């Protein structure tokens, strides 16, 4: 199954955003499954592609299994794509504008490429499961951690990371930045950040040091997985995590995915690019509202909406 959008003129002002790992909860997507035939078809297709009943784990748990990287990533993808299909089926183009850009936060970038027609749903689900499995194995072989730092600018944190032996792994907003590294180096970096005026500097409850050199064991396997698939040119430009610039060729999307597993997610720059390109309407599609909050912190004037469950579909554009 492929998701399709009509061609969009430049400057129509709407972008679709897709969330990353950490937004998973037991029960997410179940109302979509129960109420939308279009959404239900996505869950069935993902289950078939993965050759296991992922939707059962999604709806019933247990939570400890769902939060494992190799389960959480395809689960979030499934709910996000089911939300897109339900949106297309129930609201239609007169209610929901087609996007000028699509963008996803880390894992969400895979949802974005499926929505842009680079891969179909089954291919994307298989690739995301492989990515999750490879990342989980890398976490076990190279133990690391991540921490959020709030209240310091990127330049200051880059200096701290050089001194401590860590790296910046995600720039969510100009003053909300995530760093990664081995546990001892990360603890030193947090002490330095606090000493230099960070409002908060706290470890995150994640499996490992995502988007850092400690993920290199996963990169080789991801290259093999990516090369096994045929990437089409996107029907809608995808804003890349690594460069914060549009991807318009399938080959460029392929290179972005390979680079992204070990490199920083430049989300703040991605949002800034879209804002400067005329986007004033963001629709976050999938579980949670994390990305909506980030966008609002960067520009409180833009319109931000969410579609991630049945109630949000029923109330969309009526607030």
- Residue 27 vs residues 31, 53, 115, 285: alpha-carbon distances, Å: 8, 14, 23, 17
Residue 319 has pLDDT above 50, yes or no: no
User: Which two tokens mark 264?
Assistant: 């920083």
What are the pLDDT digits (tens) for 162-216? Answer: 999 999 999 999 999 999 999 999 999 999 999 999 999 999 988 899 999 999 9
Nearest partner of 86 among 132, 128, 32, 21, judged by Cα: 32
**What is the pLDDT confidence band of residue 2, given thresholds at 50, 70 and 90?**
low
Write down the catalytic residue from 90, 185, 211, 212: 211
Percent above pLDDT 90 for the chain: 88
**What is the pLDDT confidence band of residue 123, given thresholds at 50, 70 and 90?**
very high
Domain boundaries, the chain: 14-140+212-315, 143-203
pLDDT for position 1: 65
Q: Could you confirm whether 105 is annotated as catalytic?
A: no
pTM for this model (two decimals) = 0.94
Q: Rounded mean pLDDT of the chain?
A: 93
**What is the pLDDT confidence band of residue 95, given thresholds at 50, 70 and 90?**
confident
Nearest partner of 61 among 32, 114, 25, 97, judged by Cα: 25
Residue 7 has pLDDT above 80, yes or no: no
Q: Which CATH class is domain 14-140+212-315?
A: alpha beta
Range 302-307 average pLDDT: 95
CA angle (237, 288, 166) in 5-degree steps: 75
pLDDT for position 11: 45
DSSP annotation string for 272-289: HHHHHTT--EEEEESS-S
What are the pLDDT digits (tens) for 47-56? Answer: 999 999 999 9
pLDDT for position 92: 81
Write down the catalytic residue from 55, 80, 83, 106: 106
Percent above pLDDT 70 for the chain: 96
pLDDT for position 10: 46
What are the pLDDT digits (tens) for 233-278? Answer: 999 999 999 999 999 999 999 999 999 999 999 999 999 999 999 9
pLDDT for position 207: 85
Residue 93 has pLDDT above 70, yes or no: yes
Nearest partner of 102 among 27, 212, 5, judged by Cα: 5
**What is the pLDDT confidence band of residue 97, given thresholds at 50, 70 and 90?**
confident
143-203 matches 14-140+212-315 in CATH topology: no
pLDDT for position 9: 45
Residue 104 has pLDDT above 70, yes or no: yes
CATH of region 143-203: 3.30.70.250
């Amino acid at each position: 199954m492929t998701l399709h959008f009509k061609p969009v003129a430049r400057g129509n002002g709407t972008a679709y955003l897709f969330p990353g790992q950490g937004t998973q909860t037991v029960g997410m997507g179940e109302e979509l499954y129960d109420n939308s035939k279009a959404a239900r078809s996505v869950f069935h297709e993902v289950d078939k592609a993965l050759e296991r009943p992922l939707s059962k784990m999604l709806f019933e748990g247990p939570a400890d299994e769902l939060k494992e990287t190799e389960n959480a990533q395809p689960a979030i993808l499934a709910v996000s794509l089911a939300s897109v299909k339900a949106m297309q089926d129930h609201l239609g183009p007169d209610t929901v504008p087609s996007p000028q850009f699509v963008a996803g936060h880390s894992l969400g970038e895979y949802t974005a490429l499926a929505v842009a027609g680079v891969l179909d749903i089954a291919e994307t689900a298989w690739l995301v499961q492989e990515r999750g499995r490879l990342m989980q194995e890398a976490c076990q072989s190279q133990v690391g951690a991540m921490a959020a730092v709030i209240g310091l600018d990127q330049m200051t944190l880059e200096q701290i990371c050089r001194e401590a032996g860590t790296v910046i792994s995600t720039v969510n907003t100009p003053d909300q930045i995530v760093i990664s590294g081995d546990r001892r180096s990360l603890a030193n970096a947090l002490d330095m950040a606090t000493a230099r005026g960070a409002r908060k500097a706290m470890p995150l409850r994640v499996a490992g040091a995502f988007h850092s050199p400690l993920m290199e064991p996963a990169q080789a396997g991801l290259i093999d997985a990516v090369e096994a698939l045929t990437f089409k040119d996107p029907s809608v430009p995808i804003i890349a995590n690594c460069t914060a610039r549009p991807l318009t060729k399938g080959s460029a999307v392929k290179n972005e995915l390979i680079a992204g597993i070990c490199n920083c997610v430049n989300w703040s720059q991605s949002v800034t690019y879209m804002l400067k390109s005329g986007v004033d309407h963001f629709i976050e599609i999938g579980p949670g509202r994390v990305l909506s909050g980030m966008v609002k912190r960067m520009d409180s004037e833009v319109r931000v909406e969410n579609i991630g469950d049945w109630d949000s579909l029923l109330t969309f554009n009526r607030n």
